[in-house]
Amino acid sequence: MGGKVLKNVEVVDATIIDRKVNTVKLADGTLLEAENIISSLHPLETIKIIGEDNFKRIYKNRINKIKNSISSFGVNITIIFIILREEGRGM
């Protein structure tokens, strides 16, 4: 298990296979494939990129009625220092 956090990149398109995001295309043309992709965009922007046909009408209607507000997105990242532990210098 692992992951990568990308900052300051723009996603312009997504490929959906079996109702799941398979790849995303960045503005610079890079294609990224991942088992799980997390969007920190406003839901309306995410719907535009992924495609309205991939969402139920009831969900889209609910999102369209939500008033815009300020939000935040946080990620907790755990780093394991195995080398330090093996050398007796930590943890």
**Whole-number pLDDT of residue 86:** 56
**Whole-number pLDDT of residue 1:** 62
With CA atoms as reference, report the closest residue to 43 among 53, 35, 31, 52: 52
SS3 91: coil
Mean pLDDT of the chain, nearest integer? 81
Task: Specify whether the CB–CB gap between 10 and 26 falls below 8 A.
Answer: yes
pLDDT of 45 above 70: yes
**Whole-number pLDDT of residue 88:** 61
Q: How far apart are CA 13 and CA 46, in angstroms?
A: 10
For residues 87 and 21, which has the higher predicted lDDT (pLDDT)?
21
- Pair of tokens at residue 8: 């300051």
In one-letter notation, the amino acid at residue 68 is N
Confidence of residue 12 (pLDDT cuts 50, 70, 90): very high
Strands 31-33 and 20-26: antiparallel
For residues 80 and 60, which has the higher predicted lDDT (pLDDT)?
60
* Residues paired with residue 11 on neighbouring β-strands, in sequence order: 26
